[in-house]
Structure 1
Amino acid sequence: MIRLANAPVSYGVFGLSRPDLVPLPDGEQLAAWVAEAGYEGIDLGPIGLLGDADSIAANLGAHRLGLAGGWVDLPFGAGDDAAFEASLEGLDAALAIFRAAAEADPERAPKPTIADSGSAERNARPGGGADLELSDAAWRRFADRVGVVAARVRAAGLEPTFHHHACTYVETPHEIERFLADTDVDLTFDTGHLLIGGGDPVADFGRWRSRINHVHLKDADRSVLARAAGSADPLHEVWEQRMFVRLGDGDLAVDRIVDEIVASGFDGWLVVEQDVILQDAADVDRARQDQIDNRERLRRWFA
């Protein structure tokens, strides 16, 4: 069964947020908006946003929402062993919340969504490139670290999923193939980030279907990526210039990919995402309406 969720990032709440420009919604407000828009679940967002291990189930239950997953990035590709070890404390804090949500609602258990933290050189080149890939030795370290994290997630009684993502060391189709070949962790298939990394969501979903255990449905306008090339801060440029758009407004073949996902028998959370950086009060209203529109766009498949 496919369950639809949304995420705090669609309402401007994530690492690139600009709370200096406009106040951000809190967890209670976000949960209410996501439920009102017609979604069944929500992603975790920043640790503590939706509550802690003692309160997460009640907070989401008040809105009849399940916890779909949530982003936890770790320095798999960059940083020394000490930095990696230190990052595990943040993972454990997230796992406590995921575990509590799973115990309260086992039929809608979340997928801890692990990802690479990237680096300055990857931030400077959204979209990636062969010259940015890790060396063989660095890649072996990357895969070993993923194994450490996967074991930690599974020891908590949960199954991890790995998010390929712009400006990280698993961004392009080649890097995704390398990841799938060298680890036993399945994939969060993100249609928008795959477009940025040069992939074909429809064809690549079919190729990787057996290793996909989580889906982020996201549309992207790749012209924004092209315009940001060579800017002083392309990472912020592409997000601030709205690279991610409403379903159907960008380069994603929405009907084709959703048809493919449904026909494949995929069973799990499908998280609709549209990363936005709120820059004024009007952006808050626009973000809310976009997620209502995105839900309506999917009525053909998910009444």
Structure 2
Amino acid sequence: MSDAPALDRIRVGSAPDSWGVWFADDPRQTPWHRFLDEVAEAGYPWIELGPYGYLPTDPAVLRDELARRDLRVSAGTVFTALHRGPAVWDETWAHVAKVAALTRAVDASHLVVIPEFWRDPVTGERTEEPALTAGQFADLAAGLERLGRAVRDEFGLGIVVHPHADTHVDTEENVTRLLDATDPAVVDLCLDTGHYAYCGGDSVKLIETYGERIGYLHLKQVDPAILADVIAHEVPFGPAVQRGVMCEPPTGVPELPPVLAAAQALGTDLFAIVEQDMYPCPPDQPLPIAERTRRFLSSCGA
């Protein structure tokens, strides 16, 4: 038994990302049925959908596959480029609506919204400028508010914006700027502890300062030695992942017990979904890591 206080407001799960899944279809990735089998075997009751099309998109089929393994879904995920302005709304909504409909059909409550990368996530090739203009930032904030209202009104889901390396929502400055510029009634934050640390942020400080905006957690750690080299040589995120910058807890930063304690102190129910970016990875690598990580989180009271 753990001596750690019970974190009874934290609902722990895992995601396809922890099995090396970044795309809907890639022969180097773990097949979806193996992911479902292994995430259940590792002891996680909650999962995310991952990239749309990776898991079955027929709601009846997906519900049956989940029920067979006693799994439930916490969220779906979408990538958006709302900083490009109203011209991209129709295309964005067409994609978001598909994901949101499936998310709602499996009784999940959240939609994780990841801003578009300014570098290709695999090759690292720069596709946009790394900083937004004032007009682009205004479009991003307005677009996220519009998306939050539409997703809430049509599907009954809440959006949580995910700060991410190699996107325009990354550092403390950019994250807090976005929070200050958006309506808390329709835009919350998915705090990914690993990405925030990767970009120099302090997760505990953010939770303590903007606790009312923390709607969801991704639990992740970075290897500080690899990160220092990545930053020094301006290595893009995809190649950095292949170097192992995202590492197995508790070997990296930030320390997760203080993060979990700060989240528990908010007094609200929060999903805390484990993600360890490992794309691509050998097929037998994820399960042992997932089992060890689950035991570690249990020792923390989660």
TM-score by length of 1: 0.86
Residue 183 of structure 1 corresponds to 182
Residue 87 of structure 1 corresponds to 92
Residue 106 of structure 1 corresponds to none
- Please tell me whether the aligned partners of residues 219 and 252 of structure 1 are also in contact (alpha carbons under 8 angstroms): yes
- CA distance in 1 between counterparts of 2:118 and 2:253 reads 27
- Please tell me whether the aligned partners of residues 16 and 236 of structure 1 are also in contact (alpha carbons under 8 angstroms): no
1:225 and 2:227 equivalent? yes
- Please tell me whether the aligned partners of residues 257 and 300 of structure 2 are also in contact (alpha carbons under 8 angstroms): no
- Please tell me whether the aligned partners of residues 162 and 188 of structure 1 are also in contact (alpha carbons under 8 angstroms): yes
1:6 and 2:14 equivalent? yes
Given residue 145 of structure 1, which amino acid in structure 2 is its aligned partner? Answer: G
RMSD: 2.4
Residue 169 of structure 1 corresponds to 168
- Please tell me whether the aligned partners of residues 82 and 88 of structure 2 are also in contact (alpha carbons under 8 angstroms): no
Q: CA deviation at 1:160?
A: 1.2
Q: 2:101 aligns with which of 88, 96, 103?
A: 96
Describe the superposition over 1:96-140 as per-residue Cα deviations: whole angstroms up to 9, x where unpaired: 1011011xxxxxx33110121122399569xxxxx9432221111
Return 226-235 or 191-200, whichever deviates more.
Answer: 226-235
Structure 1, unpaired ranges of 5+: 103-108, 126-130
Change (3 A) 1:286 1:51: same
Q: CA deviation at 1:223?
A: 2.8
Residue 135 of structure 1 corresponds to 133
Residue 47 of structure 2 corresponds to 42
Given residue 40 of structure 2, which amino acid in structure 1 is its aligned partner? Answer: A
Given residue 189 of structure 1, which amino acid in structure 2 is its aligned partner? Answer: L
Change (3 A) 1:18 1:234: farther
- Please tell me whether the aligned partners of residues 86 and 143 of structure 2 are also in contact (alpha carbons under 8 angstroms): no
Residue 74 of structure 1 corresponds to 80
Q: CA deviation at 1:235?
A: 2.6
Runs of 4+ in 1 over 4 A off after TM superposition: 121-125, 229-233
Q: 1:211 aligns with which of 213, 223, 246?
A: 213
- Please tell me whether the aligned partners of residues 18 and 277 of structure 1 are also in contact (alpha carbons under 8 angstroms): no
Matches within 5 A, 1:286-297: 286-297=285-296
Q: State the percentage of identical aligned residues.
A: 27
Residue 60 of structure 1 corresponds to 66
1:28 and 2:33 equivalent? yes
Change (3 A) 1:17 1:178: farther
Describe the superposition over 1:201-234 as per-residue Cα deviations: whole angstroms up to 9, x where unpaired: 2222211211101011111113323323476962
Q: CA deviation at 1:59?
A: 1.8
Q: CA deviation at 1:80?
A: 5.6
- Please tell me whether the aligned partners of residues 24 and 51 of structure 2 are also in contact (alpha carbons under 8 angstroms): no
- CA distance in 2 between counterparts of 1:302 and 1:68 reads 20
Change (3 A) 1:267 1:149: same
Change (3 A) 1:175 1:72: same
SS at match of 1:120: coil
Given residue 35 of structure 1, which amino acid in structure 2 is its aligned partner? Answer: A
Residue 298 of structure 1 corresponds to 297
Q: CA deviation at 1:258?
A: 1.9
Residue 275 of structure 1 corresponds to 277
Describe the superposition over 1:232-277 as per-residue Cα deviations: whole angstroms up to 9, x where unpaired: 9623211111111111111211222222222332312110110102
- Please tell me whether the aligned partners of residues 112 and 160 of structure 2 are also in contact (alpha carbons under 8 angstroms): yes
Given residue 268 of structure 1, which amino acid in structure 2 is its aligned partner? Answer: L
Change (3 A) 1:287 1:134: same
Given residue 256 of structure 1, which amino acid in structure 2 is its aligned partner? Answer: P
Between the two proteins, the alignment pairs up a number of residues equal to 285
Change (3 A) 1:154 1:231: same
Matches within 5 A, 1:107-118: 109-118=108-117
- CA distance in 2 between counterparts of 1:208 and 1:80 reads 27
Structure 2, unpaired ranges of 5+: 1-8
Given residue 158 of structure 1, which amino acid in structure 2 is its aligned partner? Answer: L
Q: 1:247 aligns with which of 224, 242, 249?
A: 249
- Please tell me whether the aligned partners of residues 115 and 169 of structure 2 are also in contact (alpha carbons under 8 angstroms): yes
- CA distance in 1 between counterparts of 2:243 and 2:235 reads 12
